[in-house]
Chain A
Amino acid sequence: MRLRGKDMVGLRNSTAQEIELILNTAEAMKGIVNRQIKKVPTLRGRTVITVFYEASTRTRTSFELAAKYLSADTVGVAAATSSVSKGESLKDTARNIAAMGADVVVLRHPMAGAAELLAGTLKASVINAGDGAHEHPSQGLLDLFTAREKKGRLEGLKVAIIGDIMHSRVARSDIWGYTRMGAEVRLAGPSTLMPKDIEKMGAKVCGNIEEALADADVINVLRIQTERQQQGLFPGLREYSRMFCVNRERLRLAAPDALLMHPGPMNRGIEISPDVADGLQSVITEQVTNGVAVRMALLYLLIGGGAR
């Protein structure tokens, strides 16, 4: 059993078996992350290049640590310091990176489909670290991993995703991942930020946050970006907070042992109240640790052994 494709561009294309393989492998990887000597020789001599067209310290660091723990060499290309900002096309940048001998290219890009474009151009494996509002599979996988670790299962879980679904690649990867593993996904957020026909992806759109939270086992609170207000997509943050902030009172609607997640960075007091973010049910910092393990699993499964 191994992953079918050379790339990981999204969870839409992943089968339940593949997701399970990744989560199981990540479990073993977490043992390495948690011990004193966080290093195994598995990917010695392999090169992982991270190409970030958007700033994201957290995701980038997570991928670089994952690569280093597996003994791969890592190089980071930041949009601001490279020819990326001099008008070179994504494909040309990619070809140059490939010519340097990358085994894996980790791409973060503001436009949907960028990872797929790159995957079709390169022989190297491409991992999508977020492309526009399309997908962010490693984030989706770490959400699944955290939920499974805490709940012992994914099947039958009730998962609520709250906030700006329209612009969220995390929401999309979560929907594919959770539903494929047999969980139920409910969505709540301003109707102007709910993309058309999203229920056709297998999620349930709820009329209000209370409905989404009822008996939920997992709550994933999305970041609301203030620029969406400037774009006129919702009237104001105060009203947003009143209608959609996950606070102590609303949290009581969920299952007593519900997990609270957030892909970060958080706007405390807007989409999530500070006491909830730091409360006992919050697994937000564990998500970060698990992110490294999941990314190690992806790297191993994509380039660790076995001629493709």
Chain B
Amino acid sequence: MLGGITIKEKAQILDREGIRRSLTRIAHEIIERNKGAEGLALVGIRKRGAPLAGRLAERIMDIEGRRVDVGVLDITLYRDDLSTLAYQPLVRSTEVPFPVDGKIVVLVDDVIYTGRTIRAAMGALIDLGRPRAIQLAALIDRGHRELPIRADYVGKNVPTAKKEEVAVLLQEIDGEERVIILETPD
């Protein structure tokens, strides 16, 4: 039960192992594409992009032996839907404790859907400085884009219906580790 609406779990897309493998592959792709880890920074989008960015940084460390900068972006103040929301989102701190100027910043989020979150995140990031490039990593791409945005690194493409929801559950936040599709009633 969520807000009085029954939400049914429809299918599991990834389990703990699946998530781990996807992140490892993304880490490799990031290194490959950028020819190493130099000048690289990972910025996770709150909420679940934050732990994912941290995990990717660990993988990159394992592979390349190089520590990359990690930050967290809160995009609430950049959302384009604030006036239409039924609730007021909490504003939390953005923690990007390094200059982004000249960096290749990989934005990290759990799910890419309409693209609006990413648009807001790019706005927020550019207000912090001028990165050399911005790339995007998402654990799940569920389609239905409303803006001309695509992910550079995708853990898994999952075709979904609009009335479905994708829930990424992470140990750090949810105490369990899997990705599921939820069905919301009409």
Contacts and interface: CB of A to CB of B under 8 A. Distances in A.
Say if A and B assemble together.
Answer: yes
Interface of A: 1-2, 21, 24-25, 27-29, 31-32, 35-37, 39-42, 70, 297, 300-301, 304-307
A121 to B, nearest CB: 24
A101 B76 CA distance: 25
A21 B92 CA distance: 10
B88 A306 contact: yes
Interface in B89-148: 89-94, 123-124, 127-129
A36 B123 CA distance: 14
20 contacts: A1-B90, A24-B90, A25-B91, A28-B93, A29-B91, A37-B127, A41-B77, A41-B123, A42-B77, A42-B82, A305-B79, A305-B82, A305-B83, A305-B89, A306-B82, A306-B86, A306-B89, A307-B84, A307-B85, A307-B86
B69 interface: no
Nearest to A306: B88
Contacts of A32: 77
Nearest first, the 8 closest Cβ-Cβ pairs linking A and B are A305-B82, A306-B88, A40-B77, A42-B77, A2-B88, A37-B127, A28-B93, A28-B91
A46 to B, nearest CB: 9
Contacts, number: 59
Contacts of A70: 77
A130 B82 CA distance: 29
B93 A304 contact: no
B127 A39 contact: yes
A305 to B, nearest CB: 3
Contacts of A300: 77, 91
Interface in B55-82: 74, 76-79, 82
Contacts of B93: 27-28, 31
Number of chain B interface residues as a range: 20 to 34
B83 A41 contact: no
Nearest to A25: B91
Given A36-B129, A307-B85, 17 more contacts: A2-B88, A21-B90, A25-B90, A28-B93, A31-B94, A37-B127, A41-B77, A41-B78, A41-B123, A297-B91, A300-B91, A301-B88, A304-B77, A305-B79, A305-B82, A306-B82, A306-B88
Contacts of B92: 24, 28
Q: Which of A1, A35, A305 has the most CB of B within 10 A?
A: A305
Contacts of B128: 35, 37
Contact of A306 (B77, B87, B94, B127): B87
Contacts of A25: 90-91
B161 to A, nearest CB: 27
A207 to B, nearest CB: 43
B93 to A, nearest CB: 5
Contacts of B89: 305-306
B88 A305 contact: yes
A233 to B, nearest CB: 43
